[in-house]
């Protein structure tokens, strides 16, 4: 990122506001990102607190009191701005993440993830087990967090390795590629949901392009690469592993069809809602800014017929995910005889990890709000326009820099989205969705020792750090490059598709 921003200082461009200079605002931005990374990496500070402090640093640095009246903010109002940024992000995001966490925990507790994996293995057959694992990862990571899904499916990986005599990498790496792609690219996982919300793009568009880009990326990174890696590096399953004791009997698992329906229901409803909204927006000017577009859409919806309004109700992400969660509670919980107190405990526990993610995304909203109120976002927009860097490339590079520096894909997506919000006015919904995908691709880059996922992969696939770097880190890098390359190619196909 420093390499991206520093050359901009040399350009003779006007400041975005009459007060603070472009160079000062960009220096403030670089210092804020450096401070953020220092707090996370050196001080081991929680990302939520680090984002709030970095936002406070920018706000104070651009305040009127510190800049002799040239700044946009006043010290007395900074607390209110932080509150507004947090509140503005959490209404939608907290609900989606909370519902998704409960839905995923019900799927996990009922054995739905195992049912999906074992059914796909039967469909694809043992010879194409790696394909079954990619597809399993791609589907199951929609409602279930990556680390949880890995823990659930790993007994099946060990069993396959023991039965076939192949390295566990032959099945584990394809599963991980599928999990990683969907976790980063396809809502309702937290990262893409938050970026889509901040950039003002409908989740249906992000789901559509996330799948179009993500599935071939998962196939290439999850089928071609792991085959060669498994041939070079044989890793046996644990000696004390007992297949019969680790996997539930098939008869006790929910049906494959029911799991697909439960996972597919919210996605289908959201896509239908997006199609209806785009139909209503067909006559609108495609060059409208984000606020103007939202107001125009709201007016069209208000005048729409009752049937369209009903479809939009069902297709709202909150309603769609609520219906899927209630369906999982009824079918996978009560319908399968689980005790009500047990289900209450399962759902309550699921909200613990979700709460951390909610706070981080809320802090990302604060970061974005302060960037806008201080004039830093506009300064970055002016500088990048004068430098001529493509918006998709910029989004990708921001996410790559933060991801490689501090490890968390979610923090990388939150930070990149906060920096990009001022640069996305006037783009179509399809273009905005590809910007989300580019950020997701950047946030997938080079999982290494500062990423908690790196250590989970190392532990469960029984690899040393060196072996994990030569396998998993390579796969994550390929996922990032392929995802961005496909998104960039689609960007130039949009005009021919009328998007």
Q: What is the pLDDT of residues 348-381, one digit of tens each?
A: 988 887 888 888 888 888 888 888 888 888 888 7
% of the chain residues with pLDDT over 70: 92
Residue 297 confidence class, pLDDT cut points 50, 70, 90: confident
Of 263-267, 269-273, 336-340, the least confident: 336-340
Location of structure tokens 């046996």: 236
Closest CA to 369 of 417, 335, 407: 417
Pair 430, 205: CB distance under 8 Å: yes
Q: What are the two backbone dihedrals, phi and then psi, of residue 73, each rounded to the nearest 5 degrees?
A: -105, 155
Give me the pLDDT at residue 376, please: 84
Six-digit token pair at 43?
A: 């001080």
* Residue 326 pLDDT > 90: yes
Residue 481 confidence class, pLDDT cut points 50, 70, 90: very high
Six-digit token pair at 336?
A: 């399968």
Burial class (CB in 10 A: 0-12, 13-18, 19+), 240: exposed
* Residue 58 pLDDT > 80: yes
Question: What is the mean pLDDT of the segment spanning 467-471?
Answer: 93
- DSSP structure class, residue 73: B
Give the relative orientation of helices 340-374 and 190-199 as an angle to the nearest 10 degrees.
Answer: 40
CA-to-CA separations, 107 to 140, 146, 324, 343, 344, in angstroms, rounded: 9, 14, 11, 12, 14
Of 68-72, 324-328, 398-402, the least confident: 68-72
Contacts of 51 (CB under 8 A, 6+ apart): 36, 360, 363, 364, 366, 367, 411, 414, 415
Residue 286 confidence class, pLDDT cut points 50, 70, 90: low
pLDDT tens digit string along 115-148? Answer: 888 899 999 988 899 999 999 999 998 888 888 8
C-alpha 195/C-alpha 361 separation (Å) is 9
Element (H, E) at 452: helix 452-460
- DSSP structure class, residue 15: -
Residue 1 confidence class, pLDDT cut points 50, 70, 90: very low
C-alpha 466/C-alpha 471 separation (Å) is 9
* Residue 35 pLDDT > 70: yes
% of the chain residues with pLDDT over 90: 34
Residue 284 confidence class, pLDDT cut points 50, 70, 90: low
Q: What average pLDDT does the structure give for the chain? A: 85
pLDDT tens digit string along 301-310? Answer: 888 888 888 9
> Rg of the chain over CA atoms, in angstroms?
23
């Amino acid at each position: 990122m420093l390499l991206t921003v520093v050359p901009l200082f040399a350009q003779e461009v006007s400041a975005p506001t009459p007060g603070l200079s472009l160079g000062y605002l960009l220096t403030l931005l670089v210092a804020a990102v450096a401070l953020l990374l220092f707090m996370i990496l050196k001080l081991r500070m929680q990302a939520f607190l680090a984002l709030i402090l970095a936002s406070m640093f920018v706000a104070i640095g651009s305040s009127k009191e510190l800049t002799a009246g040239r700044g946009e903010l006043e010290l007395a109002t900074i607390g209110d701005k932080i509150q507004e940024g947090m509140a503005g992000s959490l209404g939608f995001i907290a609900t989606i993440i909370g519902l998704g966490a409960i839905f995923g925990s019900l799927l996990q507790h009922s054995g739905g993830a195992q049912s999906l994996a074992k059914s796909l293995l039967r469909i694809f057959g043992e010879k194409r087990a790696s394909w079954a694992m990619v597809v399993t990862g791609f589907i199951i990571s929609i409602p279930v967090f990556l680390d949880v899904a890995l823990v659930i499916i790993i007994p099946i990986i060990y069993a396959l390795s023991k039965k076939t005599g192949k390295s566990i990498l032959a099945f584990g790496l394809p599963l991980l590629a599928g999990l990683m792609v969907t976790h980063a690219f396809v809502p309702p996982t937290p990262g893409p949901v938050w970026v889509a919300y901040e950039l003002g793009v409908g989740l249906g568009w992000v789901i559509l392009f996330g799948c179009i880009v993500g599935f071939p990326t998962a196939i290439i990174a999850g089928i071609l690469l792991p085959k060669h890696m498994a041939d070079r590096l044989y890793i046996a399953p644990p000696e004390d592993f007992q297949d019969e004791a680790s996997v539930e009997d098939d008869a006790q698992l929910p049906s494959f069809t029911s799991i697909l329906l439960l996972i597919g229901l919210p996605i289908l409803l959201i896509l239908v809602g997006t199609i209806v909204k785009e139909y209503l927006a067909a006559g609108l000017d495609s060059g409208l800014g984000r606020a103007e577009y939202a107001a125009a859409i709201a007016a069209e919806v208000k005048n729409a017929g009752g049937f369209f309004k009903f479809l939009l109700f069902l297709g709202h992400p909150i309603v769609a995910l609520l219906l899927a969660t209630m369906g999982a509670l009824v079918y996978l919980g009560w319908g399968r005889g689980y005790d009500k107190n047990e289900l209450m405990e399962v759902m309550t526990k699921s909200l613990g990890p979700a709460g951390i993610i909610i706070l981080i995304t809320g802090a990302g909203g604060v970061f974005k709000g302060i960037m806008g109120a201080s004039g830093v976002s506009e300064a970055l927009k002016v500088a990048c326009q004068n430098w001529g860097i493509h918006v998709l490339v910029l989004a990708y590079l921001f996410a790559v820099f933060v991801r490689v520096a501090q490890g968390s894909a979610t923090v990388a997506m939150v930070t990149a989205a906060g920096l990009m919000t001022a640069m996305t006015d006037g783009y179509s919904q399809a273009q905005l969705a590809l910007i989300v995908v580019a950020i997701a691709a950047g946030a997938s880059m080079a999982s290494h020792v500062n990423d908690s996922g790196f250590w989970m992969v190392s532990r469960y696939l029984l690899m040393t750090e060196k072996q994990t770097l030569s396998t998993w880190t390579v796969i994550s890098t390929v996922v990032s490059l392929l995802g961005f390359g496909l998104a960039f190619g689609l960007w130039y196909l949009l005009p021919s598709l009328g998007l």
